[in-house]
Amino acid sequence: MNTGIWIAVYPLALLGHMALWIALFNRLHATNTPVLLRKVSYLLVGLALMNLPLLLVVFSGKNDWRTAFWPESFGQLPIGLLIYIPICLVFAVVTVAVWLFRKRIDHQNPRALLSSSSEDFDFGSVSRVKNDSAPSLFKRIPGNQIYRCRIEKRELNLPGLHHDLQGISIAHLSDTHFNGRVCRDYFQKVIDQVNRLSADIVVLTGDIIDAEECWEWIQSVLARLRAPRGIYYVLGNHDRKIKDTDRLREALGAIGFQCVADRWRTIPIGESRIHLAGNELPWFGKAIDQVRSLPDNANDDDLCVLLTHSPDQWSWARRLGFQLTLAGHTHGGQIRLPVVGPIISPSRHGVKYASGIFERDGQVMIVSRGISGEEPIRLNCPPEVGLITLGGLFENAPQ
C-alpha cells in the first residue's frame, strides 16, 4: 500500500488517540470517582498518551514494528490495530467537527452580556515571589501566569428583575486550592483586590482548601473578605481532602461564610430579594432532595442564583428556573494552547464549559477559571476573580 496513506492515517489516528484518552480523563474527573481510582486513571491516561507506539506494539502482537504498522494493505494489520485505528480515526474526525462547531455556538456574545471589561494584576513571577513553595519545575516554565490575576467584570441583563436589584454586584471567587504551592501572600493580595471592588455579595464556588497545613489560611486569608450583604459558598471535590468537612464548614461559618449547599438563603434588597441556593453534586449531598424547586415565596421579579462547583449542574439549574448559575472546577483548562484552546477540563461536556459565560433561553451560567489550582501552572489562562453587576431591563423601573 502507498506509504503516503499511512503517513496520513497515523497522525490522524494519533490525534484521535489523544482525544479519546483525554475525553475519558475529563469525564472520569467529572464524577464522584474514589481517590484511588482517580490516581490510577491519572497514571493510565498519562501512560497511554505518552506511549502510543508501545500501546500499538502491544495491540499488534508483533515485535517487528515495520511489519506491524506498515503492511501492504489494511487487511494485513493485526486485529488489535484493525479495531483501534478506525476508532481513533472516527474520534479524530468527531473531535475536529465538534471543535469547529462549538467555536461558533459557545463563544457567542450572549445577549445577557451588556458589557465586559477586565483588569489585570501581576503579583510577581513564580520564581521571584517570596515564600513560594511551588516545585522548581513550575517556576522554570516561561510564561507561567499563576500569580497574574484578572478581574473579569461583566454587566448582565437578566430581564424582568425588580428595579431595586439594579446595580447590585456579586464578586465570584472559585478554586482557591489552598495547598501551600501558591503562597499565602498572593491570596491576601487577591482578597485585598476583591475588597476594593466593594461588591454587595461575595460567593465562593468550591475547592477552597486542599491541605490541612493551610488550615490557618481560613483566618489569615478568607476572614479578610468583606461584603455588606454576605459571603456565601459551596464546597468542591478537592475540599474532600480535608478529612472532616463538617469541621471545615464550621470554620467557614465562624468567619461569617454562609453555606448554601442544598438550601435556600434569601437576601432582601429593597422591595425585592435575591435567593441563593447551592448544589455540591456529584461530590456532596443530594440537592434534588433539598432544593426541588424555586422557593415558594419567590416573586417573578426576584433573582434566583445557583452556586455549584461543577458546571455540569447547569442543566439541573435550568430545569428549576435559576436565572444565574455560578460555577468553577474546570479552571479554564489551566493550559490553553494557541488556536486549540483548553484540553483538560473535568466535565461531562469536556472543554465546552471550561470557562466563560454561557446563555440558553435567557438563563446564564458563568464558569470561573478560578484563583489558583492544584498544580501551580497556568499558560494563556490567568487566574480569575469575577465581578457581576446587574444592569439592563427591570420591572417597574422608575421613570
Could you tell me if residue 337 is left (phi over 0), alpha (psi between -120 and 50 degrees) or otherwise beta?
A: beta
Among residues 175 and 200, whose Cβ is nearest to Fe ion?
A: 175
Among residues 207 and 302, whose Cβ is nearest to Fe ion?
A: 207
| Cα pseudo-dihedral 209, 213, 214, 216, rounded to 10 | 130
At 17, which helix (H) or strand (E)?
Answer: helix 3-28
For residue 148, what are the β-bridge partners? 122
DSSP character at residue 380: S
CB of 236 to Fe ion, least distance (A): 6
What SS3 class is residue 388?
strand
Among residues 95 and 313, whose Cβ is nearest to Fe ion?
A: 313
CB of 309 to Fe ion, least distance (A): 8
Among residues 17 and 150, whose Cβ is nearest to Fe ion?
A: 150
Contact 380, 335 (CB under 8 A): yes
CB of 238 to Fe ion, least distance (A): 6
Among residues 200 and 375, whose Cβ is nearest to Fe ion?
A: 375
Give every CB contact of residue 232 below 8 A, 6+ residues apart in sequence: 201, 202, 203, 204, 257, 258, 259, 260, 265, 276, 278, 307
Residues of this chain that bind Fe ion (CB under 5 A): 175, 207
Among residues 283 and 322, whose Cβ is nearest to Fe ion?
A: 283
CB of 112 to Fe ion, least distance (A): 25
By beta-carbon distance, which residue lies closest to Fe ion?
Answer: 207
CB of 177 to Fe ion, least distance (A): 6
The position carrying cell 493580595 is 189
d(CA 358, CA 325): 10
CB of 329 to Fe ion, least distance (A): 5
Could you tell me which of 149, 128, 130 has the C-alpha nearest to residue 140?
A: 128
CB of 327 to Fe ion, least distance (A): 11
| Other CB atoms within 10 A of residue 163 CB | 16
Among residues 152 and 175, whose Cβ is nearest to Fe ion?
A: 175
The position carrying cell 446595580 is 167
